[in-house]
Amino acid sequence: MPDLSQYLPILIFLGIALGLSTLFVFLPMGVSRLTGAHNPTEAKLTEYECGFPAFEDSRGQFDVRFYLVAISFLLFDLEAAFLFPWAVSLAETGWTGWGAMMIFLGILAIGLAYEWKMGALEWE
């Protein structure tokens, strides 16, 4: 039978973490109720995440430019994620790695120029 006493510090740590997190969540709510700061009004209960009221129809269509901007953001975010390991390993990859990255950046630059020319980044 294994010695389970080795897990006691972990169990104590988890108990303290659970207690503190519960305290940090419920203590401010309790204090606000006791001090009278809890005063929900219609303005306080309005939408705050997206900035505008929810659509009446949940199947409403979004403009395709929204998706183009989102995809462009993801592409350039991934580009930045590829640039760091490439820069770190450039000494090992040499001119071949440099050329491959320039081709990659060139393709992305052509795509950005195409998007820009077609007006996909224009917002009305």
For the chain, what percent of residues have pLDDT higher than 70?
84
- Listed by start position, the domains of the chain span 62-124
What number of helices (H) and strands (E) belong to the chain?
3, 0
Contacts of 106 (CB under 8 A, 6+ apart): none
Distance CA 34, CA 67 (A): 46
Question: pTM for the full model?
Answer: 0.47
In this prediction, residue 10 carries a pLDDT of: 94
pLDDT of residue 68: 79
Please name the amino acid found at residue 27: L
Contact (CB, 8 A) for 120 and 65: yes
Half-sphere exposure of 52 (CA within 13 A, CB side): 2
CATH 3.40.50.2000 fits 62-124, yes or no: no
The DSSP secondary-structure symbol of 7 reads G
Lowest mean pLDDT among 49-53, 80-84, 92-96, 116-120: 49-53
For the chain, the average pLDDT equals 83
* pLDDT tens per residue across span 5-64: 889 999 999 999 999 999 999 998 888 888 876 677 877 777 666 656 666 665 667 777
